[in-house]
Structure 1
Amino acid sequence: MSETREEWIKKRAYALWEEEGHPTGRDSIHWDQARHEREALEGSAASSNGKEAKPKAKRAATATKRAATGAKTNGVVTPAPKRTASRKTAS
């Protein structure tokens, strides 16, 4: 039994929330990102079947990649997710 589009988005949004450390108030951002990723996947699946991918899906995939890396998007720099590592300082 394959999962529905909505189930996939729900699981992906939850994974994004976990990856960011369970922040509050970002549920709609995670949901939108998951939806865009799904659209991109659907677009790439259509192109691999001999159909042309939707330009919107391609833009969504690019925007998702840029957001993940902190790249510049529409003149606005989106910060990359913070990664913290504990370091011992030299005494």
Structure 2
Amino acid sequence: NKVIVRGEISNCKYHTSGHIYFTLKDETGTIAAVLFAGNAKNVGFRLENGMKVNVSGRIDIYERDGRYQLYVNSVEAAGMGDLYRRFEQLKAEL
């Protein structure tokens, strides 16, 4: 079953295999996500922490950890995330 999720990227890591691992979050929750290399090559921009995105894919259980994970097929940029912007503002105030 295909789902579409909107959220902000955090903990973005590029693996040498070409896979991209990240957390997708909003005001109320988070979910681990993976964009496999075959799909990552079709994304026309670099995923970065703080970026707001719309992703489509499927949610399944990652067997090793027994947790839900979002297996991403495609990504669309939706701007800079509010959570990241507020985090940067707080850092600047310190």
TM-score category (smaller protein): under 0.3
- Report the TM-score when normalising by structure 2: 0.26
Report the structure, 1 or 2, having the larger helix content. Answer: 1
> Higher relative contact order by CA 8 Å / sep ≥ 6: 1 or 2?
2
Bigger share in strand? 2
